[in-house]
Amino acid sequence: MGLCINWTVCAPETASLESVTDELRAWREACLDLPFDEVTDIVHFTEAEIVQRLENRADPFRWFLVQASAYVAINRDTPDEFSASVDPVEVVGFTAFAGNECEPMNCFLARYPEKALVGRHLMKPGISGWRGSSFAKTQYASTVAAQHFLKCHLTITAALDAAKAAGLLQSVLDEAGYWDDRDAKKLLTTVGRWNAMMAAFVGGLESATGESLPAPIKQHPEFEKLEHFGTTGDTAAMAKAIATALKDIKPSE
């Protein structure tokens, strides 16, 4: 849980691996001119490699490939509709690191199978061409400092501007609203509100369970203050309800 920037990039169905790689290379070059801490080389994975790496929880590219998996609707527009993950058959891309406590920005394009077995369902994902939907959680960069959070969030935004200039960007959903209004002051107010809400929720859950829980927001230097000002009847009730549900879950479940 936490404030994220979400985005989707795409390339035509007729695009070759070579042309897609060239477009990603141009995007990467733009990222190298931004204040990222690190930008990796471009990697390319085929279907067999993807399956192998996803099965290995210790694989350094597993999160990259998990994000490359697409979610599609099964039994769309019926009472039994649900979402399922479909693994890509080919992925090419790179990763950019904006700073400490900020999730990495995985930049990729992937191809997906015409048909995929999801549980008992043989379904058509309906994803044509090259596509890449990803996200980066920036909120907890604020546990380092407000200016550090701004640096991370604005750097990722600038990278998406570069993707747009390159003709790759399809859509952006910035949960802080900065992509649309470019208001840095409002951005800081928003992350402060999210921090207070998260601190109150975590504090309430710890009180209700009697357990010390691992949570990134606890690293914030003003955690207790945030917890106090963020606590409302709603957050307390939600924490209590979740604590009750957790107590009813058997360890084997």
| pLDDT digit string, tens, across residues 205-243 | 777 788 887 888 888 877 787 776 677 767 767 667 777
Query: Do 120 and 241 reside in the same domain of the chain?
Result: no
Give the total number of structural domains in the chain.
2
251 lies in some domain: no
Residue 226 falls inside a structural domain:
yes
Asked whether the beta carbons of 27 and 168 are under 8 A apart, the reply is yes
Range of the domain at 221: 186-246
The set of residues, in sequence order, having a beta carbon less than 8 Å from that of 14 and lying 6+ positions away, is 129
Write the CB contacts of 47 (distance below 8 Å, at least 6 apart in sequence).
88, 89, 90
Which residues make beta-bridge pairs with 171? 8
Domain boundary among 131, 149, 176: 176
* Residue 204 in domain: yes
Q: Decide if pLDDT at 76 tops 70.
A: no
Confidence of residue 161 (pLDDT cuts 50, 70, 90): very high
Same-domain check for residues 153 and 40: yes
Q: Which residues contact 185 (CB under 8 A, 6 or more apart)?
A: none
Q: pLDDT tens digits for 124-160?
A: 777 888 999 999 999 999 999 999 999 999 999 999 9
Instruction: Indicate whether 157 and 218 sit together in one domain.
Output: no
Tokens of 232: 């409302």
- Are β-strands 90-97 and 43-46 bridged in parallel, bridged antiparallel, or unpaired? antiparallel
Beta-carbon neighbour count of residue 140 at 10 Å?
24
